[in-house]
Structure 1
Amino acid sequence: MPFNIERILYATDLGPRGPDVFRCALSIAERYGADIHIVHVIEEPSILRNNIAERYISDSVLGGYRESTLEAAIDEIERRLEQFSRSALESAESVHARVAEIRVLTGRPGRTILAEADRVEADCIALGSRRYAGVNDMIIGSVARKVTLRSRRPVFLFPV
């Protein structure tokens, strides 16, 4: 049975090597004529979580601030990812690949990436992996490790 890729979930941490990883995902998408679903997962900054501010600022004010700050951040990240992906597709002169959607989500990155892969019914996941020195070997970054170990679909890891 031939292996076919119709949907790729590209997960980005917005790091400096993210464009390189996207170009790799784009190359795979171009080869198979696949759609790319882009996801970035953010965790609420700790300064806005369970901290001393809750002692002095009412829940309604703090909650409103959290919500508006997070919404503004999500909108800006989505705008930048859309601009970047459009530029990358044009510069690669992509014919068969396309970006189907861009989502910025909140949550735990590993778990959220896997849930998003299930939601879009991705055929594979593409993401960058930082390498950290172990005692006698190199191990992959924590998010990439969680995704790789728990995924039911192929995962393409690109070193960053």
Structure 2
Amino acid sequence: MLKNILYATDLGLFGPFILEHVCELATKHNARVTVIHAVEPVSVFAGALLETYVPKEDKAALKLHGYEAVMTTIRARVRQAFEEDFIDMRASRDCIQDVLVLDGEAGEVILETARSIDADIIVMGSHGGHSDHNTAIGSVASKVLQLSHIPIYLVPTLAAGARSIPQPLRKTRI
């Protein structure tokens, strides 16, 4: 029986489609849903720019105060975007317990969050919004599949580029 569902999203085009699957599972099993969105760390290039052009005292202040302020803004915007763009039906609103935005590499954030909330299943798309659709599955989905100790419900977002718009939801049996 499913009690805790973790929905990992990149907030991309297929998010609402995947959310349909999430809410169907949640409703069927009377489960709680936690949504996770990972914000990737600053790139090496951006870090090098900061090192080169930002004075030492400003870097210290930025690390101390700026980073958390930026993350707070990102979290607020992600929650707002999720509410506005993803949850357009009442059933979806009712199935979501919490929306988390954490910084770090997406695969690691998903796996750690799954452990911390004691998730029974992770639901995610096969490819992210910026993925190379010529691969069977995207890099984040691949990492989570390889390292997870709990079941993964992987929603196909593109069949090797064969279609560009997701098909209507097919009811699941789990």
- TM-score of the pair, normalised by structure 2: 0.75
- CA gap of 1:48–1:83, structure 2 versus 1, over 3 A, is farther
Q: Identify the structure with the greater strand proportion.
A: 1
Q: CA RMSD in A?
A: 2.3
Helix, strand or coil: the match of 1:52?
helix
The answer for the alignment partner of 1:33 in structure 2 is 30
The answer for the alignment partner of 2:2 in structure 1 is 5
Distance 1:62 1:48 in 2: 17
- Percent of counterpart pairs with the same letter? 30
Match for 1:18 among 15, 20, 37? Answer: 15
- Structure 1 outlier segments of 4+, above 4 Å: 83-86
Distance 2:53 2:92 in 1: 54
- CA gap of 1:21–1:50, structure 2 versus 1, over 3 A, is same
Q: Which amino acid aligns with 2:143?
A: K
Distance 1:30 1:56 in 2: 52
- Would you say 1:153 and 2:150 are equivalent positions? yes
Following superposition of structure 1 onto structure 2, how do residues 139-150 of structure 1 map, counting pairs within 5 Å?
139-150=136-147
1:47-79, Cα deviation, whole Å (9 max, x unpaired): 784212322213124434443223211221122
Gaps of 5+ in 2: 158-174
Distance 2:45 2:2 in 1: 40
Distance 2:17 2:77 in 1: 21
- Would you say 1:128 and 2:116 are equivalent positions? no
The answer for the alignment partner of 1:72 in structure 2 is 73
- TM-score of the pair, normalised by structure 1: 0.81
Q: Which amino acid aligns with 1:35?
A: R
User: What is the number of equivalent residue pairs in this alignment?
Assistant: 149
Helix, strand or coil: the match of 1:140?
coil
Q: Which amino acid aligns with 2:103?
A: T
